[in-house]
Amino acid sequence: MNRMFRHHLFWPLAILAALLLFNLFYSPDFFNIVMRNGHMYGSLIDILNFGAPLVLVAIGMTLVIATKGIDLSVGSIVAIAGALACLTISRGTDQNALSLVLSAVGLTVGLSFFLGAWNGFLVATTGIQPIIATLILMVAGRGIAQLITSGQIITVTSDTYNYIGNGALAALPFSIFIVAAIYLIVSLLTRKTALGLFIESVGCNPQASRLIGIRSRLIIITVYMFCGLCAGIAGLILSSNVASADGNNAGLWYELDAILAVVIGGTSLNGGRFYLTGTVIGALIIQTLTTTIYMIGVPPEITLVVKAFVVLTVCLIQSEVFRKKVVQRWKTRRYPAEREVSRHV
């Protein structure tokens, strides 16, 4: 029992369960899933589908944070990726052509790799602090995205491209499979090879790691590139989901949601340790919370306050110091009146 409490996934899972339970009481058919034109349809599926891009970005962010870094530019990369893909497709003659969509996806993936490499290069070789290095692209990225879309919303009518964010495979949204595949690959690479250990070691102490023969710079550049890639794919999913690219709003504040997801998942911003599964659950908690707020009809004026309150509670519950204090308070509580009574008897 004690072991279960101490497992790093216990609290994130408990919070997710509590949120789902709340929904169950609030609207009993929350868990209903029906089949509709070969798709599964229901609130849970919506959470997975809309949460997929966030999970993806958060996975990339986890690795960056594990090296004691941070990537603020993911939201902008999401916007750039969506803009570039939609622009490429809208220029094509036959928008449904598989080759066109594939080349758009390939171009976008390549660009996201490059943007990630740019971040990694700034952090690893020029020694700029990660928060500043990635801030550059965060600010400039929205401008680049608007340059690509020339300030317009680009609408595409390609069923092939639409499949990425809206299609269904085995009755489940296709985006879930993309996320699951990347999650599996990353877990295998980091937990079954020495790569995970290298990343954690660089996060603990890049100097010492270099001295024992780990190529710190290469590791750092690689994780930023991977983070860029995740953000790029998330951008593809998001833009294909609404069949349009919006340079200004796509992925707005995504970096903050992703960092929050990583922290809720139990990874420390100090680096040196990371929990991928925790991150996935953290991202799902955030998406469940958003969906819950929409479903129970919180007035839009106070939505953010409600969200902040829940996040605060989540963070407090997760904090071991806070938990211990509460428990201690409770254990050492004294009841002077009671004691006196018992003494007289």
Partner 1 sequence: MKRIAKLSTLSVLVLIMVFVAACGKSGNNNNNASPSPKASEAAAAPAAESAAASESSQPADKKVVLGFAQVGAESGWRSANTKSIQESAATAGFDLKFSDAQQKQENQIKAIRSYIQQKVDVIAFSPVVESGWDTVLKEAKEAGIPVILTDRAVDSEDTSLYKTFIGSDFVEEGRKAGQWLVDQYKDASGEVNIVELQGTTGSAPANDRKSGFLDVITSNPNLKIIASQTGDFTRAKGKEVMQAFLQANKKIDVLYAHNDDMALGAIQAIEAAGLKPGVDIKIISVDGVHDGIQAASEGKINFIVECNPLLGPQLMTAVNDVLAGKDIPLRIVTEEGTFTSEQALAALPNRQY
Q: Which residues bind partner 1 (CB under 8 A)?
A: 27, 30, 36-37, 39, 41-43, 46, 50, 125-126, 140, 142-143, 146-147, 150-153, 155, 166, 238, 241-244, 246-250, 290-291, 294-301, 303
Q: In sequence order, what are the residues at sequence separation of 6 or more whose Cβ sits closer than 8 angstroms to the Cβ of residue 306?
A: 293, 298
State the burial class of residue 299 (Cβ atoms within 10 Å of its Cβ: 0-12, 13-18, 19+).
exposed
CA dihedral for 84, 85, 90, 94, sign (positive or negative): positive
Nearer to partner 1, 122 or 199 (CB): 122
**Do 120 and 136 contact (CB within 8 A), yes or no?**
no
Nearer to partner 1, 107 or 252 (CB): 252
**Do 33 and 40 contact (CB within 8 A), yes or no?**
yes
| Least distance from partner 1 to the Cβ atom of residue 270, Å | 28
| Least distance from partner 1 to the Cβ atom of residue 294, Å | 3
| Least distance from partner 1 to the Cβ atom of residue 198, Å | 23
| Least distance from partner 1 to the Cβ atom of residue 7, Å | 32
For 141, list phi and psi in degrees, rounded to 5: -60, -40
What are 269's two structure tokens?
A: 């911003």
Nearer to partner 1, 135 or 242 (CB): 242
Closest listed residue to residue 235, CA positions, set 226, 245, 225: 245
Which pairs from 172-181 meet CB under 8 Å and 24+ separation? Answer: 172/40, 172/45, 172/48, 173/39, 173/45, 173/48, 173/49, 173/52, 175/49, 175/52, 175/53, 175/237, 175/241, 176/48, 176/49, 176/52, 178/52, 178/56, 178/233, 178/237, 179/52, 179/55, 179/56, 179/59
Nearer to partner 1, 136 or 317 (CB): 136
What are 25's two structure tokens?
A: 């009481």
**Residue count (the chain):** 345
| Least distance from partner 1 to the Cβ atom of residue 281, Å | 20
| Least distance from partner 1 to the Cβ atom of residue 318, Å | 26
**Do 189 and 66 contact (CB within 8 A), yes or no?**
no
| Least distance from partner 1 to the Cβ atom of residue 304, Å | 9
| Least distance from partner 1 to the Cβ atom of residue 203, Å | 23
Nearer to partner 1, 69 or 247 (CB): 247
